[in-house]
């Protein structure tokens, strides 16, 4: 099922600079990413890959053909 703008999942990335851990929030559900990241940009790439590969988001042909096409709000 392809996502339209109104049904596209909301992805938010919360990056903690002290612990270097990242929390990905998808429509209010949280996923702590397994690694530590040197900066928020690296965490964002990992979050996009996690959402694409583990959660199956964006794999519909019309939504996002690759992980980097997933839009993530950084906090």
Instruction: Using the structure block, give the residue that is written with the tokens 């053909």.
Output: 65
The per-residue pLDDT for range 19-63, each reduced to its tens digit, is 999 999 999 999 999 999 999 999 999 999 999 999 998 776 555
Closest CA to 35 of 27, 4, 44, 26: 44
Whether the predicted pLDDT of 64 surpasses 60: no
Whether the predicted pLDDT of 2 surpasses 90: no
Q: What is the three-class DSSP state of 50?
A: helix
CB 9, CB 3: distance < 8 Å: yes
- Angle, CA of 32, 12 and 14, to the nearest 5°: 55
Distances from the Cα of 1 to the Cαs of 4, 8, 59, 61, in angstroms?
9, 11, 10, 10
């Amino acid at each position: 099922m392809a996502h339209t703008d109104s049904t596209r999942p909301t992805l938010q990335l919360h990056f903690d600079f002290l612990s270097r851990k990242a929390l990905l929030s998808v429509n209010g559900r949280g996923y702590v990413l397994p690694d530590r990241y040197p900066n928020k940009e690296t965490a964002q790439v990992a979050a996009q890959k996690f959402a694409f590969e583990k959660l199956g988001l964006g794999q519909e042909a019309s939504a996002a053909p690759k992980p980097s096409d997933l839009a993530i709000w950084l906090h």
